[in-house]
Amino acid sequence: MDTFASAFPTPRPAVALIGAGAMARALGLRLAESGYPIAAVISRRRGPAEALAQLLGAPFASDRLGDVPGVPLVILAVPDDQIADLADTLTGAPRSWQGAVVLHTSGAQTASLLEPLRQEGARTLSFHPLQTVTRDADATTLAGVSVGVEGEPPGVAAGIELAVGLGMRYLVLSAEAKPRYHLAAAMASNLLVTLMGMVQEVLASIGVDRREAMATLAPLLQGTLDNLTATSPEEALTGPVARGDIGTLRAHGLALRKDLPHLVPAYAALSVETVRLAVRAGTLAPGRAEDVLALMERMVTLPLPGTAPRTPEGPRPPAPGRAGTPS
């Protein structure tokens, strides 16, 4: 049986947490719940650092980076635009970085932002929990979620060990793949929220209260998510685009153009992508797909009600030549 050297001196090393926001809270609670002692919480403002330290049972809180203790694991749970400067500043702390594991929790940025600390001997990585996190997070918020791990091999090995210790799944990423990984996460979470805002707006136009709308849609959303989890987007897809139901799609377009014309471009763009998915799934014949695409094109190019159609420009007059003669 193969054995591997641990990245840490003990199975549950002490942790210094830099940051006191939502991610710091969620990750700190998960660490503490999993048996990792939180040695210190450091933040730019002392009040939040002390509050989070008290919540996590940490014996020390500070607003000075120079106070970071010489623990084996240091976590930077701070906004993306602070990571590089923070890493540079930490190299001046009165402690050795040789052999320490230092990670940041950004989904978009790579471990390269921690290069000053790597040059000091630290094993560096990015460690991004793939979960939406709010300020009321608890110890279960990150339980069982996936984490994107990226960096040099020593850092990645430490990240995998940490993920396993926290009861999380892990996905090893290259630096080149990190932007697309974060793009996928943003589309799955942020753009879904935007889509639901649009859905609420449609329902509000027929008198459905926004809170009631979410309660009404919750079973539909959950059923869709269950289907996606159990199968694939191709297998889970239903609805008028998948059927090539031109009549229903035309009715959707007319309703939007009449009452919510600003949503027409988004509806058409999403429908075009749905056509691609339906063709891949084999539920929409290519000929019918062309009909749907043509409808979506008309939907976004025809003048909206109450707007004057654009008149085609006539031929431009020729540019005058010298002394008024033709050129």
Query: pLDDT value at position 131?
Result: 95
- 15-176 folds as Rossmann fold (3.40.50)
Mean pLDDT of the chain: 92
Query: pLDDT value at position 318?
Result: 43
Query: For residue 265, is pLDDT > 90?
Result: yes
Greatest mean pLDDT range, 52-61, 302-311, 315-324: 52-61
**At 212, which amino acid appears?**
E
Phi, psi of 151 (to 5 degrees): 155, -170
- C-alpha span between 42 and 61 (Å, rounded): 6
Residues ≥6 apart with Cβ < 8 Å to 295: 246, 249, 250, 253
Query: pLDDT value at position 302?
Result: 87
Query: pLDDT value at position 5?
Result: 74
pLDDT tens digits for range 103-146:
999 999 999 999 999 999 999 999 999 999 988 999 999 999 99
Residue 16 contacts residue 39 (beta carbons within 8 Å):
yes
- DSSP assignment of 214-246 equals HHHHHHHHHHHHHHHHHS-HHHH--SHHHHT-H
> What percentage of the chain reaches a pLDDT higher than 90?
87
pLDDT tens digits for range 14-40:
999 999 999 999 999 999 999 999 999
- C-alpha span between 184 and 280 (Å, rounded): 20
Query: For residue 306, is pLDDT > 70?
Result: no
Domain ranges across the chain: 15-176, 181-301
Mean pLDDT of 147-164: 97
Query: pLDDT value at position 325?
Result: 35
**pTM summary value:** 0.85
Q: Identify the helix (H) or strand (E) that includes residue 57.
A: none
Largest CA distance in the chain: 94
Can you give the three-state secondary structure of 172-192, one letter per residue?
EECCCCHHHHHHHHHHHHHHH
